[in-house]
Homo-oligomer: A and B are copies of this chain.
Amino acid sequence: MSGGVSAQQALSDREQRVLGIIETARGKRARFRDEQITMAHGAGGRATQTLIEALLEPALHNDALAALGDAGLVSAGAARLALSTDAYVVRPLRFPGGSIGELAVNGTVNDLAVSGARPLALSLSLILEEGLPAQQLRDEVQAIAAAAAAADVQVVTGDTKVVERGHADGMYICTSGIGLCDERAQLSPASLRPGDRVLLSGSVGEHGTAIMLARGEFDLDAEVVSDTGPLWPAVDALLEAVGADLRCMRDPTRGGVASVLNELARASSVAIVVREAAVPVLPAVAGAAELLGIDPMYVACEGRLVAFVAARAVPRALSALRGVAGCELACEIGEVRAQPPGMVLVETSFGRRVMDQLVGDPLPRIC
């Protein structure tokens, strides 16, 4: 990427028009106009964002929630805590590389980790469908136990409900987690500055692709294994290596890396420019994404980290990340620029395009 020429200057007339349309649409205050809930409201893209910003957040308004991070911050005496929650409705329950139980631990642990909080404890709520084979429940409880042990966190409380046959898909799981905010972390989604770099801890899209392949919905000979795993070791290494030069982190789950970049570009009123060729994508993931007509940048990961760091910290950050198991492919994929604010651009071998928020739900129930 050449320095010196700003993205704004280099935009063509056509790009300027596209950006103008997007900016106009975004400038309007979000309103929730839908009369019914659709699958898109759970997909992590624009519909989810509207549901959160126009319906949930105004009704429940408070500062912690308004920050809309992956976890809410809570003070308890002298301790600064993070609280995070996720419901898991992945289908099928088991897939190459993981299962709903494992995901329920890693997903919540990772929301704490990317918020700069060391996971302390988890809660576990099960919604079971009448008729669920007991062995499937045993398997998932074992998966939960193993994932919790691997993430060095304990499940300290739980609840079990049962609904009649046909009113759930085997089981839904909700985990919540408490984490202790790390003193080395000074993170904020509004802290991105022009010149900051975008790092990625590994290849993208394996989790979402593994789920779609496991459903047998398209005929592809590849086996793709979910990247699900705990992120605290990577976060811990990054914090130790670069401290306050770490601006913000996210785990690119629903909506993938593209959604995370859009969220943060808006929150910091900056542009983010990504070099497509720099993003590691496994051939099987690229192939499946092409069949599905979706950019791998929108496909969910469950064990990857997107981190924004000051330019001077890049060598230290990459070296630290690459020393963590599972992060050997960590790389720089782009940078933050001033213009156009709130936009994500991708540079490809064919030129440059806007990488907007996800609309619709091409990959339902992947977590």
Contacts and interface: CB of A to CB of B under 8 A. Distances in A.
A162 B42 contact: yes
A178 interface: yes
A158 interface: yes
Interface in A146-182: 148, 154-164, 166-169, 172, 174, 176, 178, 180
A167 B121 CA distance: 30
A156 B36 contact: no
Nearest to A174: B174
Number of copies: 2
Contacts of A81: 76, 81, 178
Interface in A29-63: 32, 34-43, 48, 51-52, 55-56, 59-60, 62
A176 B74 CA distance: 13
A89 B39 contact: no
Interface residues of A, number: 83
Nearest to A132: B37
B130 A39 contact: yes
A125 B167 contact: no
Contact of A83 (B39, B89, B141, B176): B176
Interface stretch (A64-72, A269-277, A279-287): A64-72
A129 interface: yes
Chain A, interface SS category: mixed
Interface string A284-320: 0000000000000000000000000000000000000
A93 to B, nearest CB: 13
A56 B141 contact: yes
Contacts of A43: 162
Contacts of A364: 162, 164
A122 to B, nearest CB: 8
A220 to B, nearest CB: 23
A16 interface: no
A36 B131 contact: yes
A52 B157 CA distance: 11
Closest 4 CB pairs of A and B: A72-B156, A42-B162, A176-B176, A72-B157
30 contacts: A32-B134, A35-B134, A35-B135, A36-B132, A36-B133, A37-B130, A37-B132, A42-B128, A52-B160, A56-B158, A59-B145, A60-B148, A60-B154, A60-B155, A62-B154, A72-B123, A76-B81, A83-B123, A85-B157, A87-B127, A87-B159, A123-B176, A127-B174, A162-B364, A163-B169, A164-B365, A166-B166, A167-B168, A168-B168, A174-B174
